[in-house]
Amino acid sequence: MITIDMLCYYSKLRYMNAMEKFTYAMLTLLFCVVSRSLVLAILVLIVNGILTVNKGGIPFSRYRHYLTIPLAFLILSTLAVIVNISRTPLDAFAFQIGSYYLTGSYASLYKGIQMILTALASVSCLYFLSFNTPMTDILSVLKKLHCPDLLVELMLLIYRYIFLLLDISFSISVSQDCRLGNRDFRTSMKSFGAMASVLLIRAMAKSGALYDAMEARCYDGRLLVLDEQYSPKSREIFWIAFFEILLLILTIWSKLR
């Protein structure tokens, strides 16, 4: 089982109404992207961290680990915004390299930090949803929002096949290791190619068997999946509405400033 999927089933917020969590995550994400406010991004990061770790019971080490994954990419991508090569040194920092300067301004530094925190806050919204909501509940919400049935069914099948192919690839990888199939780079590449070809063949065979099984069970073009329903609570709705109104005020303030 994928770690994120395992964590959402152990989360204390799993039994919270899925529509509430989906609405909170999407609205908060929208405000983060629209406002691009440093204050709002920090507030969202703190609130999502508290909800995921303290309320959801997700280990802080896990949450921090998953946040550092996009952080590394964000830092590398924003270097192009922060650092400039110029003949004239700017006000924040400047390192002379021959007749040029590796330099940056306070404005570009602020913009880079703003971009990093905004992106991290947006990712934390998606982490809140994925760490605390099983995939079946998310698909149930999409159905209620009248998302096309074909799209929802494709998501369900792809989600199922992720675990299936991971299990097959793990078994093949263990078998290759036992036969010294990864003892050097050349054999590793050869083993990887063999595993990829076997996975393709197995995936085609499994998809055919799955379709035959669905046809044998009177498949009519729709996948019907039982989902658990949790009633919304007025207290939770109040706090979600309060927080989103606060974000709306901060968004308007950041745009009018």
Say whether both 207 and 149 belong to one domain.
Answer: yes
In whole angstroms, what separates CA 73 from the centre of its chain?
14
* Per-residue pLDDT of the chain in tens (257 residues, 90 and over written 9): 567 777 887 888 888 888 999 999 999 999 998 988 889 999 999 999 999 999 988 888 888 888 888 888 888 888 877 877 777 777 777 777 777 777 877 888 888 888 889 999 999 999 999 888 888 888 888 888 888 888 888 888 888 777 778 778 888 888 888 877 777 788 888 888 888 888 888 888 888 887 788 788 777 767 776 667 778 889 999 999 999 999 999 899 888 87
C-alpha distances out from residue 202 to 35, 161, 207, 231, 252, Å: 47, 11, 8, 41, 53
109 and 158 inside one domain? no
Domain match, 141 and 216 both: yes
Q: What is the pLDDT of residues 205-224, one digit of tens each?
A: 888 887 788 788 777 767 77
For 37, the domain range is 1-133+231-257
| Alpha-helical segments (H) within the chain | 3-10, 18-35, 38-49, 60-82, 106-132, 135-144, 149-178, 185-216, 234-256
Residues 197 and 156 in one domain: yes
Do 104 and 149 reside in the same domain of the chain? Answer: no
Neighbours of 241 (CB within 10 A): 13
**Token pair in block for residue 184:** 């050097």
Count: domains in the chain: 2
Task: Give every strand in the sheet of 100-104, ordered side by side.
Answer: 84-86, 100-104, 93-97
Which are the contacts of 251, defined by CB distance < 8 A and separation ≥ 6?
Answer: 31, 34, 35, 37, 40
Residues 42 and 163 in one domain: no
Query: 34: Cβ–Cβ under 8 A, 6 or more apart, which residues?
Result: 251
pLDDT digits (tens, 9 = 90+) for 187-207: 888 888 888 888 888 888 888
Question: What's the CA angle centered on 232, arms 45 and 250, to 5 degrees?
Answer: 35
